[in-house]
A = this chain, B = another copy of it.
Amino acid sequence: MTDSIGTVPIAVLRDLHRRMVRIRLFEEEAGKLMEGGRLPGFLHLYVGQEAVGSGVMATLRDDDVITSTHRGHGHAVAKGANLRYMYAELFGKETGYCKGRGGSMHINDLSIGMLGANGIVGGGIPHAVGAAFAAAYKGQDSVAVSFFGDGASNIGAFHESANLAAVLHLPVIFVCENNGYAEFTPQERHMLLRDVADRAAAYGMPSEIVDGMDVVAVYEMSKKLVERARAGEGPSLLEAKTYRYYDHQGVKGLRIPYRTQDEIDLWKERDAITAIEQRMTKANLAGEMELQKVWDETRAEIVEAIRFAEQSPDPDPADLLVNVYTV
């Protein structure tokens, strides 16, 4: 009996597993709340992609900064955000991360280096470059990670940010979560490449491709690139092949079937959480009860967090102009 899978020790495996479970359950419950008509606005669920956010985030410190996208809950949860304030934000409550002003697409927590989800495709990518710039400027060894999708790699802001980071030799890891679709457009209709990773060469930047359903692989590869950046060796691009289980927005696929059930089933067979649980069990690194405990604890935490959110007050309309400016 070993106490690791590959080079990844048991404590890290548990950590990765817990991060993924927390994301999964957070999102499943958010989806139910939305289906129940209890959440205002849009909801872009991260379910299916848990291994990417979790694997990368486990290689980061609190002072390492990430920027995220419209599909940002998973990143926030994995980075260690408080589920209470996240749900409160989804409900638009004053206690939410954005005091109810931002909603699902703008959750952020600077205290743990989460520089925010962003509703503009590509909008957050340059912020990561700036965060890396600031860290380097101050002589800190923290890094910045920008998450974005396959679709986002077609927007100018990605191109400019990648080139800037390369030219300025900044500690940025560009993490492309390639889930095969930009909204309802499959990758083969929005770019000719199979691998977004191939775009890194256009900036003189190394890249890696990893199975985004294998949290251990993501962790190991991210660790390598983060260490590289931390050591002052510059930016890199990590592409994780992954899949979202639910619709682009909301839960159920809308009436236009742009993906086949077969495709969805195939990816679900490779579910990242199931996979790590099986590997841990097989390697005798965890018993079923121990894993179940993680789910149970998380469920309890989520029930409490949703209750907190629901019971929280709405913002006061008298405060409409709060935070527009720093005064």
Taking the closest CB of chain B, its distance from the CB of A191, in whole angstroms, is 6
Docked Cα-Cα span, A154 to B156, in Å, equals 9
Provide the residues of chain B in CB contact with A198, threshold 8 Å: 201-202
Q: B167 touching A160 by the CB < 8 A rule? A: no
Docked Cα-Cα span, A157 to B190, in Å, equals 16
Q: B167 touching A190 by the CB < 8 A rule? A: yes
**A199 within 8 Å of B (CB atoms):** yes
Taking the closest CB of chain B, its distance from the CB of A197, in whole angstroms, is 10
Q: B203 touching A192 by the CB < 8 A rule? A: yes
Contact string against B for A residues 131-160, beta-carbon threshold 8 Å, 1 for contact and 0 otherwise: 000000000000000000000001111111
Whether A201 contacts B203 in the complex (CB less than 8 A), given A154-B160, A156-B156, A167-B192, comes out as: no
Provide the residues of chain B in CB contact with A201, threshold 8 Å: 198, 201-202
Docked Cα-Cα span, A191 to B168, in Å, equals 9
Provide the residues of chain B in CB contact with A192, threshold 8 Å: 166-167, 203-205
**A163 within 8 Å of B (CB atoms):** yes
Taking the closest CB of chain B, its distance from the CB of A235, in whole angstroms, is 10
Chain B residue, CB-CB nearest to A160:
B156
Q: A189 touching B160 by the CB < 8 A rule? A: no
**A193 within 8 Å of B (CB atoms):** yes
Q: B191 touching A167 by the CB < 8 A rule? A: yes
Docked Cα-Cα span, A224 to B53, in Å, equals 46
Taking the closest CB of chain B, its distance from the CB of A162, in whole angstroms, is 9
Taking the closest CB of chain B, its distance from the CB of A181, in whole angstroms, is 15
Taking the closest CB of chain B, its distance from the CB of A237, in whole angstroms, is 11
Chain B residue, CB-CB nearest to A204:
B192
Contact string against B for A residues 155-181, beta-carbon threshold 8 Å, 1 for contact and 0 otherwise: 111111001001100000000000000
Taking the closest CB of chain B, its distance from the CB of A165, in whole angstroms, is 10
Docked Cα-Cα span, A160 to B163, in Å, equals 14
Docked Cα-Cα span, A167 to B205, in Å, equals 24
Docked Cα-Cα span, A107 to B267, in Å, equals 54
Docked Cα-Cα span, A160 to B156, in Å, equals 6
Docked Cα-Cα span, A167 to B6, in Å, equals 40
What are 19 A-B pairs with beta-carbon distances under 8 A?
A154-B160, A154-B163, A155-B156, A155-B159, A155-B160, A156-B156, A156-B159, A159-B159, A159-B160, A163-B191, A166-B191, A167-B189, A167-B191, A167-B192, A191-B204, A192-B205, A193-B203, A193-B204, A201-B201
Closest 5 pairs (CB-CB, A-B): A156-B156, A192-B204, A159-B159, A202-B202, A199-B202
Residues of A within 8 A of B (CB): 154-160, 163, 166-167, 189-193, 198-199, 201-205
Q: A199-B202, A202-B202 are in contact. List 13 more A-B contacts (CB 8 A).
A: A154-B159, A155-B156, A155-B159, A156-B159, A156-B160, A159-B159, A167-B190, A167-B191, A191-B204, A192-B205, A193-B204, A198-B201, A198-B202
